[in-house]
A and B are shown apart, each in its own frame.
Chain A
Amino acid sequence: MSAPVNFHSLHDLQALAKVFATVAPACDYWSLRLVAEHWDRLEVRQGVMEPAALGHSLGAMVTVVTRAGLGYAATNDLSRAGLRAAGRQARDWALAHDQHGLFDAALLPRATLQATYDAPVEEPWGEVPLSDKLALLQQANAALAISPRILDCSAWLGWNSVDQLLVSSAGAQIAHHLEFLHSGLLAVANAGDQTQRRLGGGADWPQQGGLERLAALGFVEAAPQVAEEALALLEAPECPTETLDLVLMPSQMMLQIHESIGHPLELDRILGDERNYAGTSFVTPAMFGQYRYGSELLNVTFDPGVPGELASVVADDDGTLAERVHLIRNGVLERPLGGALSQARAGLPGTANARASGWDRPPIDRMGNLNLEPGSATLAELIGGVERGVLMETNRSWSIDDSRNKFQFGCELGRLIIDGELGELVRNPGYLGCSAEFWRSLDGVGAADTVEVRGLCNCGKGEPNQSLYVGHASPPCRFRQVDVFGGGA
């Protein structure tokens, strides 16, 4: 593979870390997180190449603990003077925190771990010529344009890599090399005042890895169906508005897990840090170990070890070893999503999920890979057990209250289920409910061979704001008696 120009290797990062060690401020503890990112994005829209965009970024996040204070400084001036200045700035902020801090910074874990993680990549981005990628995109885009009613269509391929080195004054040395492929197809169909869109080709299925993922996604092959479904939705009846059984495919389950299990279990929300922005949680510390979150079929894990899942890592950004743990077992809530600092503040167990979106943001509690463990049903059995219901797939809209309880989701596509059989297509399908009750209506969970390892690249949270990648693996699931609705005035 030919490395991109200006490629910053792990060796470069190690050299910078050595420089920082010579200019680090006098303090009780410091850590340095160096992040080098590279990216490339190609898109063909309506047969025309959009401006191709590549780039790279390299910066440092310095964290300092002195006395009872904790402070940070992020910079992309990586000269000796720049790193020294960042160390001093971080120490100044630590002194301010020492005076007015919410907690004693002695609670911050001292990272000592030495570990390495390499994302699985079989077909590296750089090994396939640009002309081949463009030809693939033109082919996929052309396959979407099957009707004059398709008013807009796009095919895209994106790649990014992240090389991160975390070192600390306590001896930590943690290196990650991550690579991600982002592919997608979009078809927008219109007839009169009705517009429908359909995504596919991996648009809602990002993973770690390289171009080998395209074969699994059936990138070009998927295009006709994407366009046909967008067209079919134009003519489909509205989803009925009534209380029905609901089968959610993994492409919607990931949002359901994300919003109504992931966010409410974030320990920093429970500790109140996010009350001004992302919100709080209906979950309280007293609930752990006893609260019935869902039916017996609900098992949810924090699992950083699933090959290819977006947030698979060896350690979090505070340097805690990442390990698989159950958050909910047989429907009972066991532990929150909280990194070592939040665990110490709350006096609760947690997970290795202190994560930052890049070198210019400090770690906070995030989701990582949050997965719903498989059950034993086939998809046919899940559908077969429904007398009257709707199957929904591909999230289109999401909204939930700041305690993460009252939610409403919309999907791109629905199908009626009548007497255990899949029926006609319905458009604008949506449903609403409350987290605390919804998961107790779970009465069917797909088997291991129905699990799809998906994820989201736009989970937003934090002040300052951070948008990052989270993984969600799930089988299709069935819920009883849910309020569903369709579109219209």
Chain B
Amino acid sequence: MSAQQIEEDARDSFYTLARRLNAETRTDETLFCELNAEHSDFVRLNQNRIRQAGQVQHARLNLTLIEDRRQAEAQCDLSGDLARDFEQARALLRQLRLRLRHLPEDPYIQFSTEATRSDHWPTVPLVATGAAVTDIMTAAQGLDLVGIWASGELTTGLASSVGHCHWHVSRSFHFDWSCHGGADCAVKGSHGGVAWDVTPVRERLEAMRAELDIMTRPLKRLTPGRYRAWLAPMAVAELIEMLAWDGFDLKSQRTRQTPLLRLLDGEERLDSRVVLRESHGAEGTGLLPAFTSEGFLRPDTLTLIDQGQAGTPLVDARAGKEFNQPVNAASGAPESLIMATGDLAADQVLNRLGSGLFIGNLWYCNWSDPNYCRITGMTRFGTYWVENGMIVAPVAPMRFDDSLYGLLGERLLALGADASLMLSAQTYGGRSLESACLPGLLVDGLQLTL
């Protein structure tokens, strides 16, 4: 049986399960059924050898039962045996119905009443993990490579008693790795997509060999102070990810918990070249479902930061009801961020930097003072000292503590002309399909503290 046929059977099975559950509901009840399934291979490498390899197969069903302005949610695993899964889900449904009797009214219930439908299937076959990992190990011969290969299929299904029928399948891979030349001497690679070809990884590995030659030079140790710096796209991603943490969601903005509070109040503004969009249209990766758990369809694009000023917040169904705003997101956190590029060409970065820090990656960022959008974190992989436009030495890991109002404001000198598409390597609770497409940033001073 082909992979496509297996998937179509899985879809039909889910819709049958949902139909049977809907048949159990009363006329005054509304039921949403959501499936989240993962079939993934994970191969962990250390010293360019397999450290730990395996496979995870998991399917979860989420039920939301709504009746008389009350709602309750439940979750269970699905085994793949329709009869067994139906009995299990039906028992949960009964439990939810009993629970609703005791719950107070919920004024913030909101779901789509439009019976939308969609079907999204991958256009590429699954990547053969064993062959891909062998390709990588061959290309990395002689390197101390550490990392994780993750690949497989992720499925989201949504069916409701309203009539929603949505099915979204994605197949993707992600190889996230680093190569090491000793203590504090490492460079980073990351490559993800839908169709596997070892060539980009091989090319990156060759570049990393050259970078490691530089990294093995004596470390330059900096003293705390403010340094001119180029932040490569992966470093920018770490900073921008901090804004995903309560930065853009309507609830955090209305309850004044957002770290962008001073921007919202007009007390601060970012450089007018700073434009951040959440994009699920043609600009996006197409890996994420176009629908939310409540049956809403996401807009193609939202401008979160518009020419340095606060733009449209992310509004999930619950916040939309609470604050009387239209729904435009599945949650309060962005999942497919795009930052507008600038005019600094890649081959001009070192010249324009002159003397200062070339920062490949940042690590372990956290809020230092969210009221001032102040972030602390560490430099990590591929960070160099540059003099007169030439890389001269690797830099020992340094801590920074600085405000995004400065880095993306008065100290922003230039944005890279090219953006890098970075798929998330996160696998907490399942493989993430989030992404960010960001340029690097040249800043006139990053505050190092330790």
Contacts and interface: CB of A to CB of B under 8 A. Distances in A.
A79 B370 contact: no
Given A134-B104, A151-B256, A152-B257, A54 B427 contact: no
Given A71-B54, A74-B58, A272-B47, A53 B449 contact: no
B352 interface: no
B76 interface: yes
Interface in B72-119: 72-81, 88, 91-92, 94-95, 99, 102-104, 106-108
Interface stretch (B197-205, B373-381, B386-394): B373-381
A356 B231 CA distance: 35
Nearest to A238: B369
B50 A59 contact: no
Interface string B325-359: 00000000000000000000000000000000000
Interface stretch (A245-253, A385-393, A397-405): A397-405
Contacts of A362: 52, 54
Contacts of A93: 53-55
A58 interface: yes
Which residue among A396, A433, A467 has the maximum number of chain B CB atoms within 10 Å of its CB?
A396
Interface stretch (A25-33, A95-103, A443-451): A95-103
Interface string B125-169: 000001001100100000000111010000000000000000000
Contacts of B425: 277
A402 B363 contact: yes
B295 interface: no
Nearest to B62: A55
Contacts of A151: 255-257
A160 to B, nearest CB: 12
Contacts of A73: 54-57
Contacts of B367: 396-397, 410
Contacts of A101: 49-50
A402 B50 contact: no
Contact of A272 (B106, B146, B374): B146
B369 A55 contact: no
Contacts of A361: 56
Among the interface residues A194, A271, A428, which one has the most CB atoms of the partner chain B within 10 A?
A428
Interface stretch (A173-181, A457-465, A470-478): A457-465
A57 B369 contact: no
Interface string A191-208: 001110100000000000
B53 A399 contact: no
Contacts of A271: 46
A131 interface: yes
Nearest to B264: A193
Nearest to B190: A276
Contacts of A396: 367
A284 to B, nearest CB: 9
Interface string A53-75: 11111110000000000111111
A391 to B, nearest CB: 19
Nearest to B401: A408
A134 B104 CA distance: 9
Contacts of B177: 276
B257 A465 contact: no
Interface stretch (A44-52, A113-121, A291-299): A44-52
B427 A402 contact: no
B124 to A, nearest CB: 22
A188 B79 contact: no
Nearest to B64: A51
Contacts of A57: 60, 75-77
B359 to A, nearest CB: 14
A72 B427 contact: no
B372 interface: yes
A76 B38 CA distance: 11
Given A100-B50, A397-B366, A403-B184, A55 B397 contact: no
B46 A273 contact: yes
A463 B147 contact: yes
Contact of A74 (B54, B107, B366): B54
A147 interface: no
**B57, B74, B99, B363: residue with the most chain A Cβ atoms closer than 10 Å:** B57
A197 B47 contact: no
B58 A96 contact: no
A428 B425 CA distance: 32
Interface in A81-124: 82, 86, 89-90, 93, 96-97, 100-102
B92 A52 contact: no
B116 to A, nearest CB: 22
B370 A76 contact: no
A480 interface: no
A3 to B, nearest CB: 12
Nearest to B367: A397
Nearest to A76: B77
A271 B425 CA distance: 22
A292 to B, nearest CB: 20
A59 B79 CA distance: 9
A405 to B, nearest CB: 8
B147 A401 contact: no
B51 interface: yes
A195 B370 CA distance: 9
A432 B371 CA distance: 19
B207 interface: no
Given A51-B71, A102-B51, A399 B59 contact: no
Interface string B294-318: 0000000000000000000000000
Interface string A273-291: 1011101100000000000
Contact of B57 (A6, A48, A75): A75
Nearest to A93: B53
Contact of B73 (A51, A277, A402): A51
A276 B76 contact: no
Interface in A366-404: 396-403
A467 B427 CA distance: 10
Nearest to A78: B79
Contacts of B64: 51
Given A403-B184, A406-B397, A55 B376 contact: no
Nearest to B70: A49
B257 A52 contact: no
A5 B130 CA distance: 41
A398 B366 CA distance: 6
A232 interface: no
A127 to B, nearest CB: 15
B240 to A, nearest CB: 17
A48 B52 contact: no
A102 B43 CA distance: 12
Contact of A48 (B53, B108, B426): B108
A435 to B, nearest CB: 12
A482 to B, nearest CB: 12
B214 interface: no
Contacts of A53: 72-75
Interface in A396-427: 396-403, 406, 408, 410
B120 interface: no
Contact of A399 (B54, B106, B378): B378
Given A73-B55, A100-B49, A403-B184, A5 B257 contact: no
Contacts of B123: none
B450 interface: yes
Given A71-B53, A403-B183, 19 more contacts: A48-B108, A52-B72, A58-B77, A74-B54, A74-B56, A76-B58, A77-B80, A130-B99, A193-B261, A194-B371, A273-B44, A273-B51, A276-B147, A279-B363, A401-B380, A401-B399, A410-B367, A410-B368, A432-B449
- A-B pairs with the 6 shortest C-beta distances? A55-B75, A72-B54, A487-B369, A463-B148, A464-B427, A102-B49
26 contacts: A5-B91, A6-B92, A54-B99, A56-B76, A58-B77, A59-B58, A71-B54, A72-B52, A90-B55, A100-B49, A102-B47, A152-B255, A193-B261, A193-B371, A195-B370, A271-B46, A272-B180, A273-B146, A277-B425, A396-B367, A397-B368, A399-B399, A402-B378, A406-B399, A408-B399, A432-B399
